[in-house]
Chains A and B, each alone.
Chain A
Amino acid sequence: MYFFIALTPLARFRVGTAILLILALSSLGNDFNTLYAPSGALNPSLLALGNKPALPAIGQLFVYLHQCSAWSYESLILLIQGIYYFLCLALLFGAFTKPATLLLLALHNSIFISTVSLAYGADYFCQIALFYCLLFPVQRYQSLDARWFHYSPISEHRLHRCFTILRIHLALVYFFGGLGKALGPTWWNGQALWKALHLPFFYQPAHWIAGHGLWPVSIMPILGILVWGVELCYPLLLVAPRKYHTAVWAIILLHVGIGLFMGLLLFSLTMIFLNVAAWFWAPVPIIHHTRNHSK
């Protein structure tokens, strides 16, 4: 933890993204074989039916590699997982960061996103974080690349620009998420929140609370409106950054709730990571910075 805090903002972003990606794969354990391997519970051709991903899905990639080589599916799964972890470690330590990130983008996409039927929010946001690792100069700080190629740090202005881009992206994410919810009547009367908390696969703590009659049912409409209200107002942080602490903490609290009560741990962790990175790691918000310059 101390190691993580001692890093500079862009190095922390790189390391955090790598850890998230490692968690994405490792959290599946043996279920990876059941869900993604051709010898598992699902036929890859059936999974791909009706979807036209830009990059091939991992199931089809396994079939193709199996046909082209004498390797068994088990060996191929170990190989692909090994490559994935190796690329994550390369990103974490900043070794040949850009090529490793590009390869990791393609592999993460093939495994988690091209298999559309099994993809959910966390996969897309991990991909977004990875994409920004490709665009931002994350290799210039506390990395093996910086040691090997003698990179110099970027200017503070460029650093702020990187985090401003992340803030704009998050503002769009929450604005459209909030707008979509606001258009649905069930988010006004609390029914959507009630349903989200009681879906059978998402999980246990919410069911336990409901089973003991502890849910504050009467405030469900207020909580529902609060959810989309906070999301819809998120872009205001860009124009009124002085108030950002409270609003960002509200969003973080929302994601802690999603993680605890719905069991979407990776999704919550990814969103908390992106929010903390965007708002708490860059030393001064960009608007303050430009105002100081103009003075």
Chain B
Amino acid sequence: MVNGLLKSYWFFHFGIIVTVNTLSFFHGSLAERWFSHLLSAPTLPLYLTISGNEAAYGFFAPQVGSQYLTQFTLYNETGHVLLRTSTPRLHTSAGVVRYSRLLDGFQALVNRPITEIHLPQRRARALAYNLAFRLGKSLPEVRCIRVQVYVCGEDAATLKFLYQKCISL
């Protein structure tokens, strides 16, 4: 009896992992939407979260995603550049890795005109603004800050400009 229950549990556990990962290959399809609806039952997302399986295992697949870069230029009252930096006060490589994950949100700015309708793009622009604003506020002598967003080219050597914003503090 206990063995049967245990087997059923492990069947469920691995079955749900297989389902989540298989669905990741059919992103946007009818099957994916149907299964996603099924997986949105109250307890399943919690189980997936607790077991660490809410994300599929397709790291760097099917291709290595583009990397985004930020450039912050901080100016003082007379317009002189006080500081140029690519990250907001990060000191560890672990912090930089996580910051690079955050910048994936700038994908919404690629090949798309600036619009107020597209929500991911609005979020990306708000993110750029927020990063710059908080960085500027952390230094009292800063009066103006410019944030620029770039994406790395396919050859990983060239940079393509995506977005910029100047903020007066």
- Contacts A29-B91, A42-B131, A195-B154 given; indicate if A176 touches B96 (C-beta within 8 A): no
**Hey, which chain B residues are within 8 Å of A127, CB to CB?**
50-52
- Kindly identify, within residues 18 to 68 of chain B, every residue whose CB is under 8 Å from any CB belonging to chain A: 18, 21, 24-25, 45-46, 48-64, 67
Count, chain B residues at interface, CB 8 A:
58
B-chain residues with CB within 8 Å of residue A165 when the two chains form the complex: 10
A121 to B156, CA, bound (A): 22
8 Å CB contact of A124 from B52, B69, B89, B90? B52
**CB-CB < 8 A to B62: which residues of A?**
180-181, 183-184, 186-187
- In the assembled complex, the Cα of A27 lies from the Cα of B63 at a distance in Å of 28
Report the bound CA distance from A202 to B157 in whole Å.
13
A264 to B152, CA, bound (A): 19
B81: interface (CB < 8 Å): no
Tell me which of A2-10, A166-174, A241-249 binds B. Answer: A166-174
Check A50 against B120 for contact (C-beta < 8 Å). Answer: yes
Q: Which residues of B contact A201 (CB under 8 A)?
A: 67, 96-97, 99-100
A190 to B88, CA, bound (A): 33
A96 within 8 A of B: no
Contact B156 A31 (CB under 8 A): no
Could you say which residues of chain A place their CB within 8 Å of the CB of B90? Answer: 31, 34-35
Q: How far is the CA of A234 from the CA of B78 in the complex (A)?
A: 61
Using a Cβ cutoff of 8 Å, how many contacts connect chains A and B? 177
Decide if B126 is an interface residue (CB 8 Å cutoff). Answer: yes
Pick the contact of B135: A41, A125, A173 (CB < 8 A).
A41
Q: Is the interface of A mostly helix, strand, loop or mixed?
A: helix
| Segment among A65-73, A112-120, A145-153 that sits at the interface with chain B | A112-120
Per the bound structure, the CA–CA distance linking A200 and B105 in Å amounts to 17
B152 in contact with A200 (CB, 8 Å):
yes
Residue of A nearest to B153 (CB): A195
A157 to B69 CA separation, bound complex (whole angstroms) = 52
- C-alpha gap A264/B97 in the complex (Å): 8
A139 to B51, CA, bound (A): 19
Query: Is the pair B93, A265 in contact by a Cβ cutoff of 8 Å?
Result: yes
Contact pick for B52, options A27, A113, A181, A202, CB 8 Å: A113
Q: Known contacts A42-B134, A117-B105: does B58 contact A27 (CB below 8 Å)?
A: no
Residues in B with CB closer than 8 Å to A183 are: 25, 61-62
A207 and B49 CA atoms in complex are apart in Å by 36
Q: Which of B46, B69, B88, B94 has the most CB of A within 10 A?
A: B94
Identify the closest chain B residue to A198 (Cβ): B156
Q: Within the complex, what minimum Cβ distance (angstroms) separates B88 from chain A?
A: 4
Of listed A42, A55, A168, residue having the most chain B CB within 10 A: A42
Can you list 30 contacts pairing A with B, beta carbon distance less than 8 Å? A28-B94, A31-B94, A32-B95, A35-B90, A41-B131, A42-B102, A42-B127, A42-B130, A42-B131, A43-B130, A54-B46, A113-B49, A117-B104, A120-B97, A124-B55, A125-B52, A131-B50, A172-B17, A177-B59, A180-B58, A183-B25, A183-B62, A187-B62, A187-B63, A192-B63, A196-B64, A199-B152, A200-B152, A201-B67, A201-B100
B positions within 8 Å CB-CB of A: 10, 14, 17-18, 21, 24-25, 45-46, 48-64, 67, 69, 88-102, 104-105, 119-120, 123, 126-127, 130-131, 134-135, 152, 154, 156-157
Chain A residues proximal to chain B, CB less than 8 Å: 27-32, 34-35, 40-43, 46, 49-50, 53-55, 105, 109, 113-114, 117-121, 124-128, 130-131, 165, 168-169, 172-174, 176-177, 179-181, 183-187, 191-192, 194-196, 198-203, 263-266
